[in-house]
Structure 1
Amino acid sequence: MLSFFNCVIYLLFGILVAGSLLPLSSHPHWFIRGWDFPRMQILVITWLAAAALITTNAIAGQPSTVRWTVIATLTLALTVWHLFRIIPYTPLAATQTKSWRPEQAADPDHDARRLRVLVTNVEEENDQFARWQQVVLEQDADIIIVAEVDQRWAEAIAELKSDYPNQIVHPQSNWYGMALLSRLPILESEIRFRVQDDVPSIDTMVQLPSGDEVRIVGVHPRPPEPIRDNDATARDAELVLWGKELAEDDRPIIIGGDLNDVAWSQSTRLFLRLSRLLDPRRGRGFFNSFHADRMWMRFPLDHVFHSTHFAFRDLRRLPHVGSDHFPILIDLQLEPTMHHEHDQLEEKEGDEAEAAERLMRAKQADPLHVETVIPAR
């Protein structure tokens, strides 16, 4: 019985090691890219498995120096490997977006340049409309980016018209409908289909009370997942396209939504390097937004990235709204005087080649697709 138990633990360690190495490949298959998500879960399973093997064999009176040395070495290696990726998203690391300091403000009217953005995947099947509305209204956000909007959710969103008079709503019944609600004036807006004809993004320009204009982009790319046998090709290409486009725009920018990707993945980090945008999570915490009903399977999938025009005021995960995602609220201050204080990720030598490869995969998968844009209503 003990030998069988030991074999199971060895097999488990083999799977954990293999799975930990698979994300080194940029192959888009969901099984490979999916291993980028559960780094914390892998760490917990590794520690529990090592403790179980050592304790069980010690109690059985069959200690083995060789066995314990191998397991301890693998445990240490896996711990270092995964901590290397996730520590930047903990308070143990330096913050990427620096906190705003009122004494350095260029404008004494602080609130006129403050911007609060709420990102929420409502889950299309969710019918707790009133619960979502209550949580949203309590936050007093300036902009709300909503994912998975179908016709029912479009009607629930319309009920917020008095609080958010400027609304861009594009309902769909395929889990990729989008909406953007604003109590600020929307100067320009488009609904864009960057890679796939059924996956929209919302691209807008809004005006702050100070008169400053800010580009706000809402996104929700299709994830790699086994149920529908989707790979990461479309998601990777969409992030590359947005990264390259936003890098050429020197205006204040915020892009947010359910990226269906974890903060520490190679795709998200490539996007940050290409776009030169900042991740306010770095140095502050995971702020896991999915899965709201399963504590053991939580990942940071809902993101807000921004240009160096902004400084950090606050970032919070909001209460449950009936969805499988928690909403995320970020509070930013438009403060270009702090531009050089933030720590942008430096572009790597192979980034352009990697970006080109991801775009080529998307073209080969759907060679006839050309980005479409429709006027927002």
Structure 2
Amino acid sequence: MWELYFVLSILIVLFSVLPKIPGTYWVFRVPDFGKIQVFIIAVLTFGFGFFLEKDLTWKIAQGILAFLIIYHGIVLIKYTPLYPVKDHKPSDKASKPLQFISANVYQFNTDYNQFINLINKCKPDVFLTMESNGDWENALTVLEKDYPFQHKVTLENTYGMHFYSKLEISESKTHFFVADDIPSIEAHLKTEDGFEFVFFGVHPPPPSPTEEKTSKERDGDLLSTAKRVKEIDKPVIVVGDFNNVAWSKSSILFRKTSELIDPRVGHAFISTFHAKYRFFRFPIDLMFHSEEIFIDTLKTLENFGSDHLPVYCKFKIDHVNDDQEERIDTADAEEKAEAEEMIEEGKKEDGQRDAIVTE
């Protein structure tokens, strides 16, 4: 009993301390993904501790666990309904409701019809696919009659990306901010009732022992997107598989640099990966938006065979109501300099990815 308590306590401390170390190597960055799980295990271990012999070592261990529970709780409560945020509503001059779906389809998932049925069922105005290769592009052609506007970046390296829209695309481009095989999509859209906005789709590489050894390319790509967002004088949505969590240092820096809003604050984690394992599920498919975007619904949808759950969002655009401006944080001079440094480090990093990836 004591041995199990001791091992769990050591692991909780380790997974709590590693993300605080300012290194880019994956071993320091990945533990941040599991903050929810670390919090839950810490609470259970703390409770388990009351069934053990209460000596000095026990008191120290319980004290450390209590501190870590409070520490993780303060961070995580921000992404729950327990955290107080003002519920701003759009005015009567807002756009009609719009919907999008963002989905990492998993390149090796061949159950195309299940995803197509999901799109036909939800009927979003636009949808974004990630890890979509040539086979996925061919399968999705059946949807092009309903989605006549598209922007396709077909790759076989698990970083392909496709954007489909019922709304008119007035302009679109593919960015390769830090590497020539990691795309981001920028699409300028116009609604039927005359509202314009810009949709960014992102999918930077994750820091992991099997992919990128550091977070340099991920962070550089995201912060390059943030800089690009600041150059645009239109309502903006940035969505995709960030391979990052909202509470990480680079995500917070992204939010401040772009001056966008995180809609999860005061609402929900919206965990998406891994789709098949509920307890080991992390909120890494993120979304950020400008103050003109008013979110009505943000949630995950049912699994369609991928390792990620799709993200669904219903929103309106409102140029009149500026109440959400109070939710914007801005980067100070030191943070701006740090963002520039991270962008340059991302560009210098050589990801060594294969052009074609097989399962």
Same fold (TM over 0.5): yes
Whole-Å separation in 1 of the counterparts to 2:299 and 2:133: 26
Aligned to 2:155, the other structure's residue is in SS state coil
Distance 1:356 1:335, change over 3 A: same
User: Could you list the per-position Cα deviations for residues 145-185 of structure 1 after superposition, in whole angstroms to 9, with x for gaps in the alignment?
Assistant: 11001111001211101111112222211110000000011
In the alignment, what sits opposite 1:43?
39
The farther-off stretch of 310-319 and 178-187 is 310-319
**1:216 shift after superposition:** 1.0
Shift of 1:105: 1.9
Is the Cα–Cα contact under 8 Å of residues 220 and 347 in structure 2 kept in the other structure? Answer: no
Matched, 1:16 2:12: yes
Selected match of 1:322 from 284, 297, 305:
305
Q: Matched residues in 2 for 1:363 and 1:120: separation? A: 26
Q: Distance in 1 between matches of 2:276 and 2:212?
A: 24
Residues 327-365 of structure 1: CA distance to partner in whole angstroms, max 9, x if unpaired? Answer: 111111111222233411243453123213312322442
Is the contact between residue 179 and residue 347 of structure 2 (CA under 8 Å) also seen in structure 1?
no
Could you tell me which residue of structure 1 aligns to residue 75 of structure 2?
85
Contact 2:101 2:127 in 1 (8 A): yes
Between the two proteins, what is the percent identity of the paired residues?
30
Contact 1:100–1:333, Cα closer than 8 Å, also in 2: no
TM-score by length of 1: 0.88
* Partner of residue 146 from structure 1, selected from 124, 129, 137: 129
1:322-341 superposed matches below 5 A: 322-341=305-324
Q: Distance in 1 between matches of 2:216 and 2:304?
A: 30
What are structure 2's unaligned runs of at least 5 residues? 352-359
* Whole-Å separation in 1 of the counterparts to 2:333 and 2:200: 28
Number of residue pairs matched? 350
After TM superposition, give the deviation of residue 25 of structure 1 in Å: 2.8
Residue-by-residue CA offset, 1:40-91 (whole Å, 9 max, x unaligned): 1111222222333432x3xxxxx22423322321121111111122111100
Pairwise CA RMSD: 1.9
The one-letter code of the counterpart of 2:35 is: R
Distance 1:331 1:12, change over 3 A: same
In the TM superposition, residue 246 of structure 1 has moved relative to its aligned partner by 0.9
Alignment counterpart, residue 194 of structure 1, candidates 158, 166, 177: 177
Q: State the secondary structure of the residue aligned to 2:197.
A: strand
Q: Which amino acid aligns with 2:66?
A: L
Q: Which secondary structure does the structure 2 equivalent of 1:297 belong to?
A: coil
**Contact map agreement 1:99 1:312 (CA 8 A) in 2:** no
- C-alpha distance in 2, partners of 1:47/1:313? 33
The answer as to whether partners of 2:187 and 2:200 remain within 8 angstroms in 1 is yes
Distance in 2 of aligned mates of 1:168 and 1:364: 28
Map residues 1-377 of structure 1 onto 2, 5 A cutoff: 5-55=1-51, 57=52, 63-95=53-85, 98-101=87-90, 104-106=91-93, 110-111=95-96, 114-342=97-325, 343-348=327-332, 350-366=334-350
After the TM superposition, which of the residue ranges 232-241 and 330-339 deviates more from structure 2?
330-339
Structure 2 match to 1:60: none
Deviations 1:74-117 (A, max 9, x none): 12111111112211110011347x4424xx3225xx42xx3212
Name the SS of the counterpart of 1:37 in structure 2.
helix
AA aligned to 1:354 is: E
Distance 1:99 1:331, change over 3 A: farther
Give the match for residue 370 of structure 1.
none
1:317, distance to aligned residue in structure 2 (A): 1.0
Cα distance in 2 for partners of 1:233, 1:290 equals: 21
Q: Which amino acid aligns with 1:266?
A: K
**C-alpha deviations, 1:269-319, integer Å up to 9, x for none?**
110000001111111101111111011111111122111111121112111
Question: Does structure 2 conserve the Cα–Cα contact (< 8 Å) formed by 1:304 and 1:330?
Answer: no
Q: Secondary structure at the match of 1:205?
A: strand
What CA distance in whole angstroms lies between the structure 2 residues aligned with 1:154 and 1:188? 21
- Equivalent residues of 2:128, 2:162 under 8 A apart: yes
Whole-Å separation in 1 of the counterparts to 2:169 and 2:330: 33
Instruction: Summarize the Cα distance change of 1:138–1:252 in structure 2 as closer, same or farther, 3 Å threshold.
Output: same
Cα deviation, 1:4-60, whole Å, max 9, x if unaligned, reads x424532432332132122223311111000111011111222222333432x3xxx
Question: How far 1:229 sits from its partner (Å)?
Answer: 4.5
Q: Distance in 2 between matches of 1:191 and 1:77?
A: 46
Quick one: distance in 2 between partners of 1:10 and 1:354? 38
Q: Which amino acid aligns with 1:275?
A: S
- 1:195-224, Cα deviation, whole Å (9 max, x unpaired): 111111111111111222211111110111
Q: Secondary structure at the match of 1:337?
A: coil
Which TM-score applies when normalising by structure 2?
0.92
Q: 1:211 to 1:217 in 2, by over 3 A?
A: same
Secondary structure of the residue aligned to 1:270 is helix
Counterparts in 2 of 1:283 and 1:358: CA distance versus 1, 3 Å = same
